[in-house]
Every structure is written in structure tokens, then in C-alpha cells.
A and B are shown apart, each in its own frame.
Chain A
Amino acid sequence: MDIGIHGVRQTAHNTPQGRLGLSVTEKRSHTQRIETAAEAIFTLCACCMVFAVGSITLYMIANGIPAIYKLGAREILFSSVWKPTAADPSFGILYVILTSVAGTVLAIFLGVPVALLTAVFLTEAAPRPLAAVVRPAIELLAGIPSVVYGLLGMLVLNPLVYRLEQWVFRGSQTHQFTGGANLLSAVLVLAIMILPTVISVSETALRAVPEQLRASSMALGASRIQTIFQIILPAARPGIVTAVVLGVGRAVGEAMAVNLVSGGCVNVPLPFCSVRFLTTAIVSEMGYAEGLHRQALFTIGLVLFGFIMLVNILLHKILREEKG
């Protein structure tokens, strides 16, 4: 519609009087052009996001498939022998997958209750000055780089776990001692690392519970604690589920800290076994891997990406249900 109008005015410029008389409309058409350009640029920026997700998906699939194709899905996904550099190499990543699953589940079981109780503390139980200390502390925990968690896990947690290991397996002839670098250490570190995420999201959920529910419950003679555990927490369930799912996403994807504390042998995921996660396999082997080994690592990346996409889609569904 604009084009027609512009066209008329542009021919008017060519007449000697046109330039002066129509300078306002000329300016307007100039502004119009800037407006169009601005909108186009903003749209492009927004599309960046979609391009990024699209190309990441494409690259992960394109690079993860070749090894599956060459070795067969059974050979790589469901075999448990990982000997990528042996003379007769074998690329089974079953234990790696299971370790990531087990590590995440255990970390959630350990971390979520603490996180939920902390969120309850912040929203329901804490006197103002105490909440003013605890909340910034949790924000700071979220900001600590994962290598720092790794450093402390390695030098503080591992020796403690080693002592526990020595006590549990005292007199055992068959147990391979890990020096504390095992699944248990990794789970403990992960349980700490998911705290900030789970706390802040479930805190928001608890805050969103209408005040009426609290008031009515108290008016009916329930104690504060009963109100919290029987009224508020159930009412905030969708938000809490979101928090847990976000926690799962963080735990599955954490690489550096876990790599420093978990040992690094491909093993059955038992608490006192040195283990390798999906993420740590990539971190520690990508540097030197070549050929099929490298491709198998990309397959591990694809499996990890698959898990994350699953978590994302789940999250998206929950959030949409909450809105709708």
C-alpha cells in the first residue's frame, strides 16, 4: 500500500517545485524506510534463536549418526564394553548412559528435598532478616563456576568419601578402591549444584499460591506446618515439577565438576565405582580421539542432546499446561 504513494511522490521530486514543496513527505518516506529496516532487523534477531537451535540440532544429529550407522545401534547403544583405543576396539556406551541416568536420579533424590525445604523456609518459615541472608547466599551458590565445585569436590569431598569407602569395604579382597573418585562423590556434587535452580524455581511456585488458601487452612485450625505440607506444597505442585525438571536438565548436562570427581573408568554405576558420564566421556576424550572413536563420542553427544531435548519438551508441556 505504501509503495503506490511513494511512487507518486517520487515522480513529484523530479519537477523543479517538487523538492521544496514535498520535503516533509520525502522525510516521511525516509522515516518509513528506516521503520521497515528496523523491523526487519529486529525480526532477524528473533530468528537467530530459531536458527541457533535448528543448526545445533542438525549438527548434533549429522555428527552423531555415522558411528551408529557404522557399528549398528545394538553394538554402540546396548553394549557395555568401551575400549575405543584397543587393537580390537569396542564402542559400547550402555554403562555411560546408565551412569548419567543413575547419577541424575540419585542427585535429584538427594538434592530436591533439601531444595524444597529451603524454598519453604524462604517463603513460609523464615523471619525477614534470616531470609535476607539465605536468599543472597543461594544466588551466590548459583554463580560459583563449576570448576570451583570440581576443585573442592576433588580436594575436600573425595578424601572424605575415600574414608567412607575404606570403612565400607574393609577387609574386601575384590573391591577396586577408587580413592574417593566415584559415583557417590559425583552425585553429592551434583546434588549441591542443582540446589540454586530448584530452590529459586520452587520458591516462585510457592509464592504464587494464593494467600486465601493459607488463610482458610489456618482458620480451620491447621497449624502452620500442616498448612505448608498439606495445602501449600500440593497447590504448588506444577511449579515444583518444573523446578525438578530444570534440576534434571542441569544435572544431566553438568560436565566439568563431575569430570574432576568421578574417576573416569567406564563401569557399572554403583556408588563406589569409578564411573564415566555422558558429559565426562566427551570432556576427557574429545581432545585426543580420532576416527571412529571421535564419531562414537559424537554419538554420546547425540544421546546427551536427546536427553536434554526430552527434558525441554517436557518442560514446555508443563509450562503450557500451567498457563492454559
Chain B
Amino acid sequence: MPRKIKDAVAYMVIYLAAFYSVLLLAGIIVYVFAKGFPVFDLPFFTTVSSVVKGTVGIAGNILNTVYIVVLTLLAAVPAGVGAAVWLNEYATPGRGVRLIEFATETLAGIPSIVFGLFGMMFFGTTLGFGYSILTGSLTLSLMILPLITRNTQEALRAVPDSYRNGAIGMGAGKWHMIRTILLPSAMPGIVTGILLAVGRIVGESAALLFTAGSGYLLPEAGSGFVSKIMESGGTLTIQMYLSLARAEYDTAFGIAAVLLCIVLAFNLLIKILTRNKFFAG
């Protein structure tokens, strides 16, 4: 075959491969939205499913998702950022750093179902938290730890050394320098990491099935909002999985549309944020 034709065929295959991904995404979004949006109405967002009242709603699941996102971030962000600061600012290259970096890589590679098993055994059984939002959050915080650490590390690496030298030269202690110079400069990177983590938490299901359980009721007003942490609570993804298992496809599509909206919104946010960072730099 002449070279020209060969090249043309190769180009075509390359373009096809690329458009396959785009088409796939477009197909998924259009299909889910077309099937999901008709399900949307006010009760869908403000009530919980009840046979007695005849309502189908996901308010409880939305609230559970918020709970889990907040609690997970509370546990994971300080630890993840701290680890990154240590790796980047304190540690001297050697066995310790290699061990921790290997641990980070490994943690990032462990599938969520294994986190789920571990969370169920350790937080649920050994620590006695049972099937609860707390168990789920702690499990997920382990899962997103590498994500936070890596993004923070990258952001810290991008802070020029002159900042550090300037601060130390002016007599600032290391902690003072980190608190007032490094962390604020690295903030866009850290926030990007957090947003990515929120995306993962919202989309997670396998790690939550056996840790946070599948409760879908709204907590009672008042102290119920605190004790809810120790009760079982299924996120949107879990509810969607259960709806599918019960062949309630309308509800499943409704939740899928909500999830896609969240994913799209967060992607947009990250895009805007990283673009701003370029402007600032």
C-alpha cells in the first residue's frame, strides 16, 4: 500500500479513537439527562421515599452525602496537607521519605471495595462505630488522603524558593513561614485537591456499602442532627444502587442526573480555579 494511503488510514483511526471518547461522554450525558430530568420535581428533592405517604424523594440521601463529604474532609484535609508539608518542607531524602511515598502510591492504588472491607472491620467492628456515617467518613478519608497529599505537594513545589529564603531571612520560624507564606501561596492547589476529593466522595459507592449503610430518613430536628453521625446513612450513589437493585429505574435515573450535575459543576469549578491560578501567576 502506498505510504500516503497508509498514513490517511492511520489518521482516520486516531481520530475515530478520540471521537469515540467524546461520543461516549455526550451519549451518557444526553441519555441520563433525558431520562432523569422528567423525574425532577419539588417532592423529589424535599421528601424521603415513603410508601405510606406515597412519596419518592432523596432529601435524606442528599443530607447524608453532605454529612459524609464534610466529615471526610474534616478528617482527611488536615492529615493530607500535613503529610505533604512534611514531605516537602521537613523531610530529608532517605528511607523515611521513600517509605511514605510508597505508602501514598499504594493507598492511591487500593480499590474502594477493599477500603470498604477494611472500614467495616476496623471502624465498624474493632472501634465499634457500626454501620454509621462516621464509619463511612473515616473509611473515605483514608481513600482520599493520597489525593489531597499529592495536590498539596505539587502546589508546595510550585512555590518559589525565594519565598522561603526571604521569610527565613527575615527571622520567621519555619512554622510561621509555612503558616503565613507557603500555605496561602499553595492554596489554589490545595483547594483543587479538595474539589477533586469531593468529586470522588460524591461518586463513591463500593467503600460505603458496608460502612455507612443505607439509611435514607431525615434526622429529627434538634439533637437528631448530631446523633445522625452515629446512624446509618446512604449517600446518593448508594440509594441509586439500591433503586437499581429494586428495579426502580426512574428514581435511579433521577439520582444519576443529580450526580452528573454535581460532577459537571465541580469540573467547571476546578477549571475556573486553575485558570485563575495562571492569571495570578
Contacts and interface: CB of A to CB of B under 8 A. Distances in A.
A301 B117 contact: yes
Interface stretch (B55-63, B106-114, B185-193, B219-227): B106-114
B163 interface: no
B83 A46 contact: yes
Contact of B175 (A38, A117, A150, A312): A38
Interface stretch (A55-63, A78-86, A175-183, A204-212): A55-63
B21 A49 contact: no
A125 B14 contact: yes
Interface residues of B, number: 85
B244 A304 contact: no
A301 B114 contact: yes
Interface SS of B by simple majority: helix
Top 7 closest pairs, chain A to chain B, by CB:
A253-B111, A45-B82, A145-B203, A117-B17, A38-B175, A42-B86, A121-B18
B100 A50 contact: yes
22 contacts: A38-B178, A45-B79, A46-B82, A49-B83, A49-B149, A55-B122, A56-B142, A118-B17, A141-B25, A146-B206, A147-B205, A147-B244, A148-B240, A148-B260, A229-B10, A253-B112, A256-B241, A279-B111, A279-B206, A283-B206, A286-B209, A308-B114
A80 B123 CA distance: 33
A231 interface: no
Interface stretch (B40-48, B66-74, B248-256): B248-256
A143 B106 contact: no
Interface of B: 3, 6-7, 10-11, 13-22, 24-26, 28, 31-32, 78-83, 85-87, 89-91, 99-100, 102-107, 109-115, 117-118, 120-122, 142, 145-146, 149, 173-176, 178, 199, 202-206, 209-210, 237, 240-241, 244, 249, 252-253, 256, 259-260, 263-264, 266-267, 271
B237 A145 contact: yes
A34 B173 contact: yes
Interface stretch (A88-96, A151-159, A166-174, A268-276): A151-159
Contacts of B22: 133-134, 137
Given A39-B90, A48-B79, A253-B111, A141 B203 contact: no
A118 B18 contact: yes
Contacts, number: 242
Interface string A236-262: 000000000010011011111000100
